[in-house]
Amino acid sequence: MVKPLIDPETLKKHAYLPVKLSELSKKNPEAALQLLQDWGDGKKTIKKLWDEINSLLEIAPTIAS
């Protein structure tokens, strides 16, 4: 069996990263903007961004109703 060149889990994270950033922007706009800039500037890996976004979503209070 041929191993995929890119981990399928990483592909899923990459595909859903904008959705998660949108969700975070409604709860913590400043953090979402910083993570978006880090992503655009290539400062963080997809895994690191995914983990940070999900951690922030777990602890973030809802700003918008």
- CA 16-26-41 angle, to 5 degrees, is 55
SS3 content of the chain, % helix, strand, coil (to 5): 70, 0, 30
Distance in angstroms (rounded) separating the CA atoms of residues 32 and 36? 6
Answer whether residue 18 is part of any domain.
yes
Answer whether residue 49 is part of any domain.
yes
CA proximity to 17, closest of 41, 35, 42, 43: 35
pTM across the whole model: 0.80
Is residue 46's pLDDT more than 90? yes
Looking at the 3D structure of the chain, how many domains does it have? Answer: 1
Question: How does residue 63 score in pLDDT terms, banded at 50, 70 and 90?
Answer: low
Answer whether residue 1 is part of any domain.
no
Domain containing 40 equals 9-59
Answer whether residue 15 is part of any domain.
yes
Is residue 65's pLDDT more than 50? no
